[in-house]
A = this chain, B = another copy of it.
Amino acid sequence: MANYKRGKQSFILPQPPVITHWASVAGKKESEGPLRPWFDATSDDSHFGEKTWEQAEKRLQQQTLQILLKKSGIDAPDLVLSGDLLNQCIGSSFSLRNTGIPHLGLYGACSTMAESLLAAAMAVGGGFVDQAVAMTSSHFASSERQYRFPLGYGGQRPPTAQWTVTGSGAAMVQSTGHGPQITSCTIGTVMDLGIMDANNMGAAMAPAAYNTIRAHFDDMNMAPEDYDLIVTGDLGQIGKEALMELAAQDGTSLGGQLTDCGTLVFDNTTQDVHAGGSGCGCSAVTLCGYLLSHMVSGRFQRILFCGTGALLSPTSTQQGLPIPGVCHAVSIFYGGEPWTT
């Protein structure tokens, strides 16, 4: 049997699956931020025409998938790999009801965009499906209600808090075609350093992010300089600084290449989002718009996309347990002629 495993946590794709198309849909606040030009659609209606926040999130995924399928000309993909933050992932499963599309549900908290891409790379790269959609979403209001307080309560947010992105991103991963390629992946481990503050998730996820990035370089015999960009999912400003500190303690400089979707998605000086953006949608809308578009335009050739997730639940927090983190990394390469999407 072929062996594509590398090191402890990584694997290569000798025939790299191609991200042929991508789509993103975002909310009003996100449309007022710096990434607006790369969203396929935005809505001023936070309910997206639905009655509840949870159904709004379902609708977000439906819209994103519709746009992706239209762009790609594929009516019935072989597989959708998706998940979200809602209890029992109802954003994902309800969005696919009666579509006839094979579906595998994932739970990786805010790491889901990377986890779904990684799983899609396995499914397509292994020859088990011809194409797979990697998709996720989050919604500010459904997350606040579920993890913290109902919006009507008007709870105060500490400076370390992040703002859950209302948005959904989806990527079409195919065995052939034109576009950025997935060349290797690193599967994360669950790290728990005892962070207890559910309003400081960046700090809770930073150790997992560092662990996975370190494992990627070790497993693949690579270094930060091999990437134009190392981009974490939603560490935010505080988590990003914690990650840089962890790297510095280890003698690794990530400075020049490192960025975080949580610091890209909003204008942190004017949009009052405190430590930055968060949520599954944060890295999803940043990847499936700004980042992939800048790859094919020629600005970035090699990206290490590192989805970060805080694996807490309100129940675990209420029971006094710390917040475990996870991070999955996907190495994406584009070496073709520049084009614009």
The total of chain A residues at the interface (CB under 8 A) is 69
Q: Which of A1-29 contact B (CB under 8 A)?
A: 1-5, 8-9, 11, 15
Partner of A106, one of B101, B105, B109, B192: B105
Could you say which residues of chain B place their CB within 8 Å of the CB of A85?
88
A86 contacts the other chain (CB 8 A)? yes
Could you say which residues of chain B place their CB within 8 Å of the CB of A172?
none
Could you say which residues of chain B place their CB within 8 Å of the CB of A188?
102-103
* Beta-carbon nearest neighbor of A142 in chain B: B315
A100 touches B52 (CB 8 A): no
For the complex, what is the distance from the CA of A234 to the CA of B309, rounded to whole Å? 31
Could you say which residues of chain B place their CB within 8 Å of the CB of A128?
4-5, 11, 122, 125-126
A98 touches B191 (CB 8 A): yes
Closest CB in chain B relative to A165 CB, distance in Å = 18
Given A127-B126, A190-B99, the answer on whether A86 and B313 have CB atoms closer than 8 Å is yes
For the complex, what is the distance from the CA of A54 to the CA of B105, rounded to whole Å? 21
- Name which of A64-72, A269-277, A316-324, A330-338 contacts chain B: A316-324
B103 touches A324 (CB 8 A): no
B103 touches A83 (CB 8 A): no
Partner of A326, one of B103, B107, B122: B103
Closest CB in chain B relative to A105 CB, distance in Å = 4
- Name which of A89-97, A238-246, A248-256, A288-296 contacts chain B: A89-97
B311 touches A176 (CB 8 A): no
Q: Which of A24-55 contact B (CB under 8 A)?
A: 51-52, 54-55
What 18 new A-B contacts, CB under 8 Å, besides A55-B321, A93-B311? A1-B15, A1-B125, A1-B127, A1-B175, A2-B127, A5-B78, A5-B127, A5-B129, A88-B311, A88-B313, A89-B311, A90-B312, A90-B315, A98-B190, A98-B192, A104-B187, A122-B123, A122-B128
